[in-house]
Structure 1
Amino acid sequence: MKNYLDEFSPLAGRGAGSRLILKLEKIAASSPKKLAKAIDMAISDVVSDCDEIPQAAVTKIDAYMSSVGAASLSELRIECSRRLRAILRQSEIKDEFDYYFIKDIIDSGASDPESAVSLRLQELSLRYVESKPG
């Protein structure tokens, strides 16, 4: 993941992979159970960072990831799309990891904020935040 971020994530900046790995190591040390979810969030961030890159770059990334035996960016995009559809189908954000996944989609500005999907995501996000104490 570090090499992937350092080489291909245009929005993350050089060294982003190293910073991410350090954060994940801290999470693993303090709460191993949260590590899988944190990795899931990191992957979602990478997919989001690569949202607007040209198809030629996606093809290059896919080839690189396949060459090292990892999931391609295209596969990760499909997985994120499935996750989004599942959250919309459930009409509920179940935990903080899904909340940040949705928040990242909203904040990215990748879609029209007035579209039906964006408005639904904003509603689900607000409902989740309002359900939390404090």
Structure 2
Amino acid sequence: TSQIPFIFGIKAPRGISGALKLPKFYIKLISLLIHNINWISTAIGISSIIVLYLAKYLNERYKSKIRIILPCELILVIIGTVTSHFTKFHSKYGVSVVGEIKRGLPPLTIPPLNHINQLIVPAITIAAVSLSISISMAKMFS
């Protein structure tokens, strides 16, 4: 449900809540699709899904003959990035793109401490659950 607006190149319906949220979302989504569909985004999304399923099928079928599994997802991202860059999908056809990716790592900074009151209880809960899982796994395998 969360990826459907991106495949069709439309904005996701917002502000839907209450009972029957999912049917209301799809009704609003279909009405948006009728008027605002981006056919280039749709073609890219559907062809990418087909390529991924075909690659999964071929990898499973020929994995005994080919010793390595091809990283088809990575290959698809590289091909899509290069194609989008050289054909200018964003400016010509309105296809959403991530934008420029900064090189290197961001500088190290100390996080702001103004949210520590909101984070302390979830952090202790996660630590307690992780500790109990580690202890139970250690007992199970020892």
Compute the TM-score of the two structures, normalised by the length of structure 1: 0.31
User: Whose helix fraction is larger, Structure 1's or Structure 2's?
Assistant: 1
Higher relative contact order (CA 8 A, sep 6+): 2
